[in-house]
C-alpha cells in the first residue's frame, strides 16, 4: 500500500478508537491490532501529528503511582473522520468501476 495512503488510514484508525473513549499509547496499539499493525515507533509520531493538527488533545493522569498520557479526540478530529468517510465514498465508486471493467475483460 502506498505510504501516504497508509499514513492517512492509520491516522483515521487512531481517531476512530478515540471516539469510544480517551486512551493511551499501549491501549491504542492493542485496540487497533486486529485491523492494522501499529508499532510504538509509528504510533507516537501519529499522535504528535494529530495533536499538532488539533484533532486530539492530551492530558496526564496518574496510574499506579506514575503519570500516563491520555489522548482525547476533539470536535475537529471527529469532523476529520467524517471528511475522510465522505472522500472514501468516491474511492469506493472508483474501485467498483475498475473491478467491473477488469471482470469484463
Q: Bridge-partner residues for 56, per DSSP?
A: 73
Report CA dihedral (78, 82, 83, 87) to the nearest 10 degrees: 150
Residues 6+ positions from 25 with CB-CB distance below 8 Å:
40, 43, 44, 47, 69
Looking at residue 8, its pLDDT comes to: 79
pLDDT in tens, 43-102: 999 999 999 999 999 999 999 999 999 999 999 999 999 999 998 898 899 999 999 999
What's the grid cell of residue 60? Answer: 496526564
Q: Per CATH, which fold does 3-103 belong to?
A: Arc Repressor Mutant, subunit A (1.10.10)
Burial classification of residue 92, based on how many CB atoms lie within 10 Å of its CB (0-12 exposed, 13-18 middle, 19 or more buried):
exposed
pTM value is 0.84
Looking at residue 91, its pLDDT comes to: 87
Amino acid at each position: 500500500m502506498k505510504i501516504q495512503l497508509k499514513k492517512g488510514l492509520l491516522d483515521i484508525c487512531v481517531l476512530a478508537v478515540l471516539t469510544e473513549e480517551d486512551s493511551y499509547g499501549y491501549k491504542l496499539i492493542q485496540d487497533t491490532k486486529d485491523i492494522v499493525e501499529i508499532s510504538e515507533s509509528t504510533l507516537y509520531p501519529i499522535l504528535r501529528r494529530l495533536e499538532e493538527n488539533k484533532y486530539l488533545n492530551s492530558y496526564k493522569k496518574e496510574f499506579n503511582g506514575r503519570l500516563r498520557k491520555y489522548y482525547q479526540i476533539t470536535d475537529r478530529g471527529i469532523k476529520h473522520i467524517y471528511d475522510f468517510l465522505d472522500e472514501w465514498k468516491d474511492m469506493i465508486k472508483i474501485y467498483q468501476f475498475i473491478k467491473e471493467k477488469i471482470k469484463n475483460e
